[in-house]
Structure 1
């Protein structure tokens, strides 16, 4: 599978969201044009490429077009990975991760949530992509959010994090993932099904596994390939359906 990075300069004119500072944190914000519930916010936790990546902005825009006030905080503190990091052998992923541990990246999230609560927001959902999966789980297990969706999550341990989710969270969980995801391989997916599936997690659980989709497809899939486009769009549609059902 080809993972394509869409150039932000080419797509910038298509973006309908705006940059705002919320709780001292830069955020990319998408606001529905029609009526929506002002007490609800969908938080989007990006992959390691952050809110400067055009693909991530477009996701925020699309969720807003579906009627959800959507906010993507810069929880990477302006130090996102460069757009073509995965194709650059000189980029050290492990080193980058060590500079973006929860001690550095969780505080911006908490600041945004606190500020939004002061503005009257009472209910949160989260969709987390790749690196953002860790924080989606953390907030769900602390019952700060009401609904959780993760797409090809990373930084999660199987079975530990999913057993913790079962025992602590009340947020219905949807997982969008591919069948050739090296970060979340099929054997791990099946283990998670055994923990949360078949009604074991009462609030709600589903896993959608897309054929021939690698890690990152829901954000950076090659939209010029019909199969990859179907996976990317399908994951988005399933996320919206989950939000409409539970949020």
Structure 2
């Protein structure tokens, strides 16, 4: 069950934000894309419940693209991100029609479209809701590297089935994936010598910190930028 912590600090969405472009269909989904078409390595960024128009997410996509990747941010929520102000649709109801499992199935044609355009390696990073989509891709041999940021709905059993290098970036203050659970993830990964991993718990930050930060908060910005640097480093090590 989704926690109210998932719903805190909703971003002001902006359909025109970012240095990239929005395309009507990439693997069947509307998507924000950034980066060089000549790149042989791609990164799929999977949003939290607030969707692909979140300005910080697009800034992140642009920065990942500037590191040499073709980046796709698909609209897995089909223009219907969670709206906390809509009291008629509480998160528990919304999530039933926006399951991460559906996102996983819809990610497969996106990966196929990347391969059709000449991409040879694909990584995926997911925030909160999106992290569950990414772990499903990592379990299914669909991607070559995974990053989970303050994941929601991810279980120890999920982590046991991961087939590719995985980085898990957790928050000290997180009801969805508290540090105790993230440490369990690390123990599972440490016991699996076949899967490279990097696990880190960021001190003093709450669930959502890496994508729902305020630009007026220097400490929040610093932690978010550190998470972004860790993510790019993981992809550089495992995709290029």
Match of 1:132 in 2: 130
CA deviations 1:21-46 (Å, max 9, x no partner) are 213211100114xxx86332111111
Contact 1:151 1:176 in 2 (8 A): yes
What is the correspondence of 1:194-213 to structure 2 with a 5 Å cutoff? 194-197=187-190, 200-213=192-205
Cα distance in 2 for partners of 1:140, 1:126 equals 9
Cα distance in 1 for partners of 2:188, 2:101 equals 29
**How high is the TM-score relative to the length of structure 2?**
0.87
**How high is the TM-score relative to the length of structure 1?**
0.85
- Which residues of structure 2 form unaligned runs of 5+? none
Aligned residue for 1:153, secondary structure, equals coil
CA deviations 1:143-200 (Å, max 9, x no partner) are 111011110011112x2111222xxx1x111111111111101111121121113x63
Task: Tell me the C-alpha RMSD between the 2 structures.
Answer: 2.3
* CA-CA distance at 1:6 after TM superposition: 4.6
Match of 1:23 in 2: 27
Match of 1:216 in 2: 208
Match of 1:60 in 2: 61
Q: How many residues align?
A: 232
- Which residues of structure 1 form unaligned runs of 5+? none
After TM superposition, which residue ranges in structure 1, 4 or more long, deviate above 4 angstroms? 3-6, 87-91
Cα distance in 1 for partners of 2:173, 2:63 equals 26
